[in-house]
Amino acid sequence: MGRRALPKIDPAMDLSRHLKTVEELPRPWSAEAFFGRTARLEVEVGSGKGLFLRSAASARADTDFLGIEIAPRYARFAASGLARRGLTNAVVVVGDAVLVFGETLPDGVLAAVHIYFPDPWWKRRHRKRRVMRESFAQDIERTLQPGGLLHYWTDVEEYFHTGVAVISSQTHLEGPFDVPESPAEGDLDYRTHFERRTRLGGRQVYRAEFRKQASQ
């Protein structure tokens, strides 16, 4: 299912606090330099329109959220949603999550990684572009702190099973654990816009959770 056109945002809106480039990430990584404090840190891979970031940042002010979105127009839209609400504990970075994990994020820095409805790259010759690959799964494990969680959701059954297989074979993360579907009474009860579209369209969402062992 293709992405729909985005509503226009005010071109005069100041996004400097909420929208960053990969080059603006501090190296070596410093939460203090980037967020202005040291707090629990979670990353969303592929933030899309930013519903998860907005909802999570609003609900958990004690946690910082880093969204990584490769499409500049979606990154800008997600950042605008954070800016309108004055959410200072979430930032969207325009770039490739594989590179951000591999080149910027240090060991054991993340409390959770969220991957919701990643691009399935339907054509077989393009599947090497899928984000859930061996090296990325290993970087997720490396950057998670002991007890940290990986949330992996997709509406593509084949991608779900191959993704779970990659995680299980390439890491020591515990799981997959089943994630029951929560009832949704309103738009904000969905974790992402894509989940909303998928469920309202009567299609199944495949969900799994993995956990890094506390002793790792």
Nearest to 113, CA basis, from 216, 19, 211, 213: 211
| Residue found under tokens 């309103």 | 186
State how far the Cα of 198 lies from the Cα of 212, in Å rounded to an integer: 29
Q: Point out the catalytic residue in the list 96, 119, 155, 178.
A: 119
Would you give the DSSP letter of residue 6? Answer: P
Task: Confirm whether 10 is a catalytic residue.
Answer: no
| Residue found under tokens 């240090």 | 106
SS3 at position 115: strand
The 10 Å CB-count burial string (b at 16+, else e) for 73-84 is ebbbbbbbbbbe
CB 78 within 8 A of CB 6: no
State how far the Cα of 148 lies from the Cα of 171, in Å rounded to an integer: 13
CB-side exposure of 108: number of CA atoms within 13 Å? 7
Residues with catalytic annotation? 119
